[in-house]
Each structure stands twice: as structure tokens, then as C-alpha cells.
Structure 1
Amino acid sequence: MASFARSLRILTRNPVLIRSFSSKPHVVVLRKTLSVPSCLTSSSNKLENHSQVRYYCPEKKNAKQSEDEIRQRVLKVCASYDKVTADKTQYLQQERGYSSKPPLSLNMISERVLLVLKLYDKITPEKLSLESHFINDLGLDSLDHVEVIMAMEDEFGFEIPDVDAEKLLRPADIVRYVADREDVYE
């Protein structure tokens, strides 16, 4: 669309260029009939009535248009162009949508940690508290500890490095780590 408008501006500023184009094309039709020898017509009847049609448009060298005619023609094109763009173009208003995680609190984090641990099949919910040790109090081994850490990664949506995972031996440690990671201080 911009290139069309740019071309239109160039045309309106250069009347010599506009005069070189003819506003009313004159088409001359020439018909040329081929004469086919009789030796070829007997083998193929398609060549008998062959005619060739050509069209050409001669230039009018002496016909000059006035500036008013050119201006009217250009304004007519511009007016029709404006109608097309106004009718057929509908713009959608763009909106940006922002989202974030729900606000976390220490109580919410501790409830989510305890819920994940209660759903783990090797932990008895009666023995579970925020201060219970995974290995000493709950009887988990190192492989179970890794599975608990992986479940916490899935719950909170971020990866816990192995160096930090070795230090998380109580649910309270996990709550403190998640709160530090998510910048929750209340």
C-alpha cells in the first residue's frame, strides 16, 4: 500500500511522465490467415482454417492532455483508492495481556509442601510435620529424598540444583528455600 501511494505521489509531481501515458487506449485488431499447402491439408484438417489474431495499441504522439484532465484523472484514482481502503480495512485493537503467579505467602507455601508430602505414598501423614526429618523421622532413603525434591520442583515450577537439594532435609527447609527463591518474606 505504501508503494502505491509513493508511486501516485511521483506521478502527480511529474506531469511529463503522466502525459506519456495514454488515457484511452486504442486497440487495433489484425487477423492473419495462413495459407496451407494442399499436401498438408489432406493429412491434417486442423491446419486448414488456421488464423492468427494479434492486438496492438498504437501510441498517440500528438495528443496532449491538459493539466486539468490529468488532475481529474489522478483525483478520481485517489478517491477510489480511499474508498477501497476505508471499506475493506478493519483494524483490530491490540491488547497486551500480562499474567503472573498468584501471590505466595509462607502459609500457602507450607500448605502446598505438606500436601505434596502427604500425597507421597512412602510417608505416613500422621508422622508428618514441618520439623520432621526425612531420613531420621520419616524413614526415607536417599532415593526417596530425590523423588520428594523432584515432586517439589514440579509443584513450584522451577528446578532445584543438586547442591541445594542435599541441604533440604525437612519440610521447613523446603518452605524456606521456596520462599527465598520466590521473594516471599511474610
Structure 2
Amino acid sequence: MKRWIQHFHHLARLNWVMVWLLLCCSLILLFPSTLMGGAVSRWTEIYGGWLGVGMLVALSYFASQGLLIGWEWLCDAWSERRQHDQMEQTLSFLDFNEKAVLREFVLQRKSVINLPITEPAVKNLMDAGILTYAYGRPHREKEDENQIRALMIALPARPLLTYKVLGLSRGKMSDEQVEQIMNARPKFAQKGLSR
């Protein structure tokens, strides 16, 4: 929708011309001829066809803009639905490493953590739309070998992440369970990454 607001802003003059064309043509054509003077009614009779064409052009312009906005809205809704379905499918088939990466957000109690984007588990989660760049996509990739970036869980994925999906217990965990989870942490998370 933002794109269409910008689109209409760029076409502001054309939009105003079409609004005036529509208003003028429709008012002249729909105004009762008995209330108009002789010269105006004769002028309306002579140019009535052109006024009708002007009104149709303006109406078709606004109808086409409305159809394009509706089409883009449908495409966006379909794309969001497809992405949501892909996220649900990915979350239902997470492997051990991907669960460990997502558990790091819970273990570190942070909404943004530094992760290497070249790591396969992190890359898979980013490709599925579950993880995203925290501060926007970097303009230029650094040449370092790990390519450590600040990542966060994408907003659409947050409601889908449950304790069950992450392999955590909702209640108090035993010392053995805590130790097992801590041992399952990815090596890159245990090292303490810097940005």
C-alpha cells in the first residue's frame, strides 16, 4: 500500500486533472437543461458526446487505479499467507541445530543476538523467514569469514515459536535437563560473538 501512496503522490497533477475532468463533465451532463441558459444548453448539445467521453476517461482511470490497488493487496495477502505456511512447515520440521539456534534467544534473554549468517542452521532459518536482520539488511557485506550479524526472530514467526517447538519444558526443568540444553548449544554461541 505504501508503494501506491507514493505512486499517487508522483501522479498528483494527473489525479487532480482527472478529478476536475470527472466533476466538470458529470456536472454539465447531469445538470437539468431547463435550468441552463440557451447558449449553455446548445453548447451542451453540441459537445455532449465529448463530455461523455471525458467522463468515461476519468471514470476508467480511477477504476483502473482501484483495480491495480486491489490486485496488489490480493498478491500481498497471498504472499504473506504463503510465507506463513512456509514458516509453519519449517518450524514443524526443525532439526537439532536449528532448535539450538532459536533456543539461544531464550537462553540469552535477548531479542537481538549476533549469529554467523554463513552457518547452515542460521542460513536455513533466514531463508524460511524465521530469522531476519535486526537493524535492516546491510548495504555492503563485510569480507570477514564468519559474517557475524545482529539477527532477531521475525515478527510473523514469534507467535509460532512455542516451548514445544524449541524443545523446552514449560515448567521448572531439572538440573539434568538444563545441563543437556546447555551442552546442546551451538559452538558459535558458546564462544560469545562480537558484532
Larger helix fraction of residues: 2
Higher RCO (C-alpha under 8 Å, 6+ residues apart): 2
> Greater CA radius of gyration, 1 or 2?
1
TM-score (norm 2): 0.30
